[in-house]
Amino acid sequence: MRKILFFFIVLLTQLSFAQDNGAIQGTITDENQVPISGANAQILSLKKGTITDFDGKFKLIDIPAGNYSLEISYVGYEKQSQNITVFAGQTATVNVSLKETTGQLNEVIVSLNKQPQKITDVPATVDIIKAAEINEYASFNVGELAARQKGVDFVRSGVLGTGINIRGFNSAFNSKNLQVTDDRVATLVATGLPLGSFETVIKEDIEQVEILLGPNGTLYGPNAHNGLVSTITKNPRNSEGTTFAAGGGSQNVFTTRLRHAQALNDKFAFKINFESTQGTEFKYTDTVYVGNQGYAEKNLDRDFTSLKYGTGLYYKTSEKSELIGYYGHSNSNNIGNTNAGRNQIKDWSIDQAQLKFVSPRLFFNTYYTWSRTDDTYAMNQRTQNYVSFINNGFSEEEAWNRSLMEQWFPTGPDTGIALQRGALFVDHSDRFNAEGQYNNNWGRFHFIGGAQYQRDMADSKGTYLLDQDGPIELNQIGVYSQIEYRIPESRWAFLAAARLDNHELYGSNFLPKLSVTKSLNTGTFRLTYGRGMAVPSILNLKANMFGGLILGNGEGFTLSNGTKIDKLEVETINSYEIGYKGRITKNFYTDINAYYNQSDNFISPLRNIADPANGVTVTHMGDKPIGEVVPGSTGSTILTYANFGHVDTYGIDVGLNYYFTDNFRTSFNYSYFGRDLDKNDLSNDGNLDGKVLETELPINTPTNKFTLGFHYNNKKFYGAIFGRYVEKYDFFSGINIAAKTQDLDGDGVNDIFENQQNGRTWNYGQLGGFTIDSNIGYNFTEKLSAGLNVTNLFDVDIREFVGSPIIKRLISVELKYTVDFFRKKETTK
């Protein structure tokens, strides 16, 4: 009885004491009202504190009544102190917006989890190209800024053509980096290639480009294999006004662009974009070989044009939810590089229509993409076809007209036969995508779950795919979930994610992801594991180009010596990464990572599986004789894709930034890449001679590369100068060769010769070198600015890609004027 009485006395005492106490709660955000997770909220006099949750919320309980100074802090932001009074039995509320300090630890990305997240909380290596940097770059080609990022292999194939690769194994047809724009897959339907210059958005409408290094397919699906490139455009509510831009420069470049954004009222807002760009590619003509005789590409047109327009409609369904509609169109004429030669692209148009719903907890997205071209053709094959007719007495007009679809083969002194060797590329392909996602927080847990559907409808009208019987239609569906658990007191965070994809051809594939992060006052350590996959594109599977000289490998092949070439399988990669992003000193920041990748079933570039010199030909594709698949084919030359076995790759990426002042900083990026080839795995035997050599699996990636840059901006004047070094390296892709003289098969005799003909192309030697780029500009007023950009400042002869010209100095100037015609003027009473 005494024990019970004592218990009640203690309980009543505690309740009485609690009634004399109060609590403090609130939300911590940045200046854009983005919640800051992991911010510190402390009352130093009481030695009591806590950390904000996923939504930036915090609560301090059992605070004695009285006046206190509440201190709020987070890495990359200025500390704030708030005086607050706590009353007994009540909860005081304080909401704080933190101001950014100079540095890079306060950047926000949205691509990893499809919602805003501080970069220090992200368990991945991320490069960010911001709108301010894009605005200061006086060129229509935003892709050029990728050259300044760590871990990225940037290549330029001309004035218009730029591309990136991440962590090895590049090719002229590289589809291993998934690219998305505003949650739309930004790749061509049949080839899987990034849209690149075919994109429908313009420079002035880009808010941010986020480049995630390594496998990041858990929330995005197949082909975020080596990396993800996500472009995010501006919301018209936050970017009202009308911008006119005009630019010009060397290579006859002239561009005009227009963007208008306006909020009509609290519910409706819209934006419209327009661009017209034209110019002339560098003077370069690829050599086309017929036997040992070289010919210039016939009727080469080096002029390029690009027309883009689009509109976005935004409707707020509630204070925090929005319904977004988008339509965009592009039309392009230019030269495109492939692993089978160059294409003369004629009126290739891309259209995209999207409807998206975004809210704090729900996300729904559906969009339709259609791709159209009727007159694009392969210059290499068409030139060969043309020569075959001219050399056999046909007129110029007939030779050129027939060269689009046929090649002439003599059968006697005055006789011959025309066989189908089509050079024409028609594309009438469509794609439909849909996605739904849900996320929520439960205490220390944050959950994301969703499902995606994609239907590809590839249609080449029988010109470059095995689709003579109609469009090739493929369906795939993926489901995913992700759980993140944080321990605010110790600042540890754990993430587990998984994705299951079911593809109509490949069945089911499982992609797990795990990460651990530990935050300190100066930065965050991270340890991650991720699995990615690259699904063969429709072109990899169903190609039928140039009368069967290039065939897709969706069925497998049989050679005359009995060798079997298995059909393509999904390529997989297991990636392990450790990294740190943080501050070394007050003005010195670093982002460093080391990774190790294990790749299986690596999808090769195009390679010739026949060896007619030794009597080895292709006899069957799947169960069908090769002559039935391609009428008239003898199987003496078949280029196709195949899976290699196992290869390990590894590397490090280092990014350093030092701020001398708020206006002046320097940056240094360095990347190293290496690999180990399993020589005991005969599936790594590229030339099928029974032994595996280091040269049989081309990595097409420099071992070492670095950039060093200096940046200055005092609001009026801005500028940057960048030095970029890429160590010389070999590049093999299909018929394209850029390599030093060497022995590929280990027999002591050189197979590759620099500055000579090699097979069907000319080898100019290794790629890479050192260049310096610079840009400067001046803001005359808040509305008017002018900029100058120079690529390859000292006009160094450098070749960056196979089948491409030497990159000469490029100069571009730009004038930009922004005015707000329609914003309502504030009035005072």
Give the range of the structural domain holding residue 456, as residue numbers without chain letter.
108-235+340-351+374-535+570-606+641-816
Residue environment code for 672-703, b if the CB has 16+ CB neighbours within 10 A, otherwise e? bbebebbeeeebbbbbbeeebbebbbbbbbbb
Tell me which residue has tokens 């002046």.
664
Residue 39 lies in a domain: yes
117 and 93 co-located in one domain = no
- Report the amino acid identity of residue 413: P
583 and 470 in a common domain: yes
Number of domains in the chain: 2
549 is a domain residue:
no
Considering the domain architecture, whether residues 132 and 92 belong to the same structural domain is answered as no
Asked if residue 517 belongs to a domain, the reply is yes
Residue ending a domain, choose from 48, 66, 97: 97
Same structural domain, 84 and 112: no
Any idea what the CATH number is for the domain that residue 214 is in? 2.40.170
> With contact defined as beta carbons under 8 Å apart, do 560 and 619 qualify?
yes
Please report, for residues 2, 3, 10, the alpha-carbon distance to residue 7 in angstroms, rounded to integers and kept in the order given. 9, 6, 5
Cα 533 to Cα 102, 220, 507, 551, 665, distances in angstroms: 38, 11, 13, 23, 38
What is residue 222's predicted lDDT score, i.e. its pLDDT?
73
Does some domain include residue 357? Answer: no
The DSSP letter of residue 35 is B
| Residue 481 to residues 484, 513, 530, 542, Cα–Cα distance (Å) | 10, 10, 14, 33
- Tens digit of each residue's pLDDT (9 = 90 or more) over 667-695: 999 999 998 887 777 777 766 667 777 77
Cβ–Cβ < 8 Å for 552, 640: yes
Q: So what's the pLDDT on residue 429? A: 97
- 3-class secondary-structure state, position 273: strand
The yes-or-no verdict on residue 154 having pLDDT over 80 is yes
> Residues 165, 37: one domain?
no
User: Rounded to whole angstroms, how far apart are CA atoms 806 and 798?
Assistant: 5
Which range scores top for mean pLDDT: 7-11, 399-403, 747-751?
Answer: 399-403
Exposure pattern of 79-110 as b/e (b: 16+ CB <10 Å)? eeebebebeeeeebebebbbeebebbbbbbbb
Structure tokens given for 486: 């944080």
Last-in-domain residue among 70, 97, 124: 97
Helix (H) or strand (E) holding 284: none
Percent of the chain surpassing pLDDT 70: 93
pLDDT tens digits, residue range 346-373?
999 999 999 999 998 999 999 999 999 9
Tally DSSP H helices, then E strands, for the chain: 6, 55
**What are 249's two structure tokens?**
């420069």
Inside any domain, residue 513: yes
Judge contact between 789 and 774, C-beta under 8 A. yes
CATH assignment of the domain containing 35? 2.60.40.10
Mark which of 73, 97, 121 sits at the end of a domain. 97
Is 547 inside any structural domain? no
Pair (8, 140) in one structural domain? no
User: Residue 114 — very low, low, confident or very high, per pLDDT cuts 50/70/90?
Assistant: low
Task: Give dist(CA 53, CA 25) in Å, integer.
Answer: 12
> How far is Cα 108 from Cα 34, in angstroms, rounded to an integer?
9
Highest mean pLDDT among 20-24, 208-212, 335-339, 451-455: 451-455
pLDDT digits (tens, 9 = 90+) for 590-647: 999 999 999 888 887 778 888 888 888 999 999 999 888 888 788 888 888 888 888 8
What is the band of 16 on the pLDDT scale with cuts at 50, 70, 90? Answer: very low
Quote the CA–CA distance of 630 and 348 in Å, as a whole number.
27
CA atoms within 13 A on the CB side of 40: 22
- Mean pLDDT, residues 753-766 taken together: 90
85 and 115 share one domain = no
451 and 580 inside one domain: yes
Q: What is the mean pLDDT of the chain?
A: 87
Is 147 within the bounds of a domain?
Answer: yes
pLDDT confidence of residue 75:
62
Cα dist. 351→230, 330, 819 in Å?
19, 7, 29
Which pLDDT does position 823 carry in this prediction?
A: 55
More confidently predicted of 537 and 607: 537
More confident residue, 575 or 820: 575
Question: What's the CA gap between 510 and 96, in Å, rounded?
Answer: 42
Q: Half-sphere exposure of residue 436, counting CA atoms within 13 Å on the CB side?
A: 0
Residue-level pLDDT at 15 = 45
Regarding whether 92 and 48 lie in a shared domain, the answer is yes
Q: Lowest-confidence range among 50-54, 374-378, 471-475, 753-757? A: 50-54
pLDDT in tens, 765-802: 999 999 999 999 999 998 999 999 999 999 999 999 99
Residues 87 and 128 both lie in one domain: no
Q: Which residues contact 443 (CB under 8 A, 6 or more apart)?
A: none
Q: Is residue 85 domain-shared with residue 224, that is, in the same domain?
A: no
Q: Are residues 93 and 183 in the same domain?
A: no
